[in-house]
Structure 1
């Protein structure tokens, strides 16, 4: 049914702003809207009673805008969202330079009325996909925290004993090294413990490299006899950072187990993992970033992921194609890493990669080209629910 009123909602943490315009462009509502289910229901019910069918458009369909979308869908109201980049470009077409919630809400509503092709549809999210999205988001947060703590730990080690950092810093992802620093957090503590205790400590979690790593540690300790100012304070900090690493690593392991359970239960998992280079974690990312979105074609999916080349042409002076700097960064990274993994075990992918290299493309360019080709296959697999089929002659000769 064609909407009679277009409701633009500029979402916020505690309060949104809602502006509604009719088909003629007249403003029929323009007020703040609390982040509250009863208030949202009251507004939508009132607008439906007065004007008929609604189209609710938000600028953020997830996080702070999730409640608005859920309430509207529960009331069988049409819902869409206006991407942020489109929103900013359309805003330049409107007079004024002010940045207010009321102006943004009006621009969203007016864009929905006059340029409906710029909107993106929002489907009712599967419970599994919503759960996966939250778990993967939390996993990203934990990974960022792990990187931050490791960098901080490496910085402290470099400050008090550079030689020791060169040995232990690159190995901070190994639980045995973190455990060792938790027990002996300073060069002096390692020296007092002696080779025997250090080797025994490492052997618990790294039996094969314990002896070799112990030798490297004590060679590094012998390189420096000067005690740098601040070493005593660093002892307490390094121990705490090591404990944080252990906790974060355990939390990430627990989250990974939960992700695997949800992914294994999803009906599309077997379809995705049938493609070479796609494991369970990769499948989880593809599910959260692709499922529930409406892609008209394989080219649309590639453009959304940012792996489709961008053509630039202006008369005869500028001609060529360049990599896209836009797109969904998470999906782009997943497709890139998946393509990279596939060249090691899939002869078809390897042949396509070698062909692009022979054409003069650099490694990353060849991988992006392969990812673009694989996204076409992925689109067909998800659309039809079919498993991956290797066709050497077709893929190897594809452009």
Structure 2
């Protein structure tokens, strides 16, 4: 996920930006690393335009290093890319660096600019002006609704467990869906809420109706997501064991601009599917990578497990690899790496076609 090596011209300035929710602090360096100027700007469209205009008065903008391009710096990143500027995603300084150099907005902005100038920061940010960003936004809303529904169901279950016997004996034997329907129809007496039985009925009805409302939200978002994902990556969705949520997780991880990846190996590293060496002495082995995008890694894992259960070719592969001495976790790791290759090819086919 890196840009090619950069050589800086004498009139170019390299800008580093420390981003926040309400303000951005920018520092400009010349091609030799000297600080030219620094200034703070509001985090708004007008502020972003002013920051770029300020930088252009200092010289030709060679590149802009921005922290948090997917959150606090998302708006500035969109504005800079729309203006045709080279944007580099910069990680926040490590704790060791901060402990040595101190912490302030100008220091962090200068650190971002120096990371770009030195070539230690080379990653290009995701483009957030296409359909992939729409899918990410819808998926974010769905995930929130699913988590809230789970919390409400657990609260409902726990409340039933401690409810008065006349309520507990009715609701406890039911399935989760039947319990929600039954609890949503309870009729507490508003004038008798000082009595625990009626307070419990009121709380159970509130939780049950919350669950029902969240289920409606999830179903509505699922419908919209399914249509968008199938339209955007039909080749990926057509693959065995790849559903809407799996495809969405991989698509969100990859982003709209696949050209930011040097190869599918870079995508494998981003998804946490690239094996890490764990050799020592006469022992030569690799281990599971616990880094990368964990949602994408989870999606790959679910596809691998699903194919192990239902796909004859995958089952035959697993049988052959077990005979070679590999354990099930090792086989899953190999399958996930192969799935990255397959998924990246499908994503390229679909996104380049679009």
Under TM normalisation by the shorter chain, which class is it? 0.7 to 0.9
Equivalent residue number for residue 219 of structure 1: none
Shift in CA distance, 78/349, structure 1 to aligned 2, threshold 3 Å: same
Equivalent residue number for residue 197 of structure 1: none
Equivalent residue number for residue 180 of structure 1: 182
Unaligned runs of 5+ in 1: 187-228, 387-399
* Mapped contact 1:276–1:342 kept (Cα < 8 A): yes
Alignment of 1:123-202 (within 5 A): 124-160=127-163, 167-168=173-174, 171-172=175-176, 174=177, 176-184=178-186
Unaligned runs of 5+ in 2: 1-5, 189-194
- CA–CA distance in 2 between the matches of 1:231 and 1:372? 56
* Mapped contact 2:240–2:307 kept (Cα < 8 A): yes
- CA–CA distance in 1 between the matches of 2:306 and 2:187? 37
Task: Give the secondary-structure state (helix, strand or coil) at the position aligned to 1:283.
Answer: helix
Task: Give the secondary-structure state (helix, strand or coil) at the position aligned to 1:5.
Answer: strand
Q: Normalized against structure 1, the TM-score is what? A: 0.75
**CA RMSD, Structure 1 to Structure 2 (Å):** 2.8
Equivalent residue number for residue 56 of structure 1: 64
The counterpart of 1:286, out of the listed 250, 254, 272, is 250
* Mapped contact 1:352–1:370 kept (Cα < 8 A): no
Deviation at 1:77, TM superposition (A): 1.1
Q: Is 1:334 the counterpart of 2:299 in the alignment?
A: yes
Deviation at 1:52, TM superposition (A): 0.8
The counterpart of 1:325, out of the listed 272, 290, 313, is 290
* Mapped contact 1:149–1:244 kept (Cα < 8 A): yes
Deviation at 1:336, TM superposition (A): 0.9
Equivalent residue number for residue 241 of structure 2: 277
Deviation at 1:364, TM superposition (A): 4.5
Task: Give the secondary-structure state (helix, strand or coil) at the position aligned to 1:378.
Answer: helix
Bigger RCO (CA 8 Å, 6+ sep): 2
Shift in CA distance, 46/356, structure 1 to aligned 2, threshold 3 Å: same
Deviation at 1:311, TM superposition (A): 1.3
Q: Deviations over 1:226-271 (max 9, x none)?
A: xxx95543221111000000000001111111112222322xx221
Equivalent residue number for residue 193 of structure 1: none
Rg larger in structure: 1
Deviation at 1:306, TM superposition (A): 0.8
The counterpart of 1:43, out of the listed 51, 63, 80, is 51
Shift in CA distance, 66/94, structure 1 to aligned 2, threshold 3 Å: closer
Equivalent residue number for residue 303 of structure 1: 269
Shift in CA distance, 240/358, structure 1 to aligned 2, threshold 3 Å: farther
Shift in CA distance, 99/163, structure 1 to aligned 2, threshold 3 Å: farther
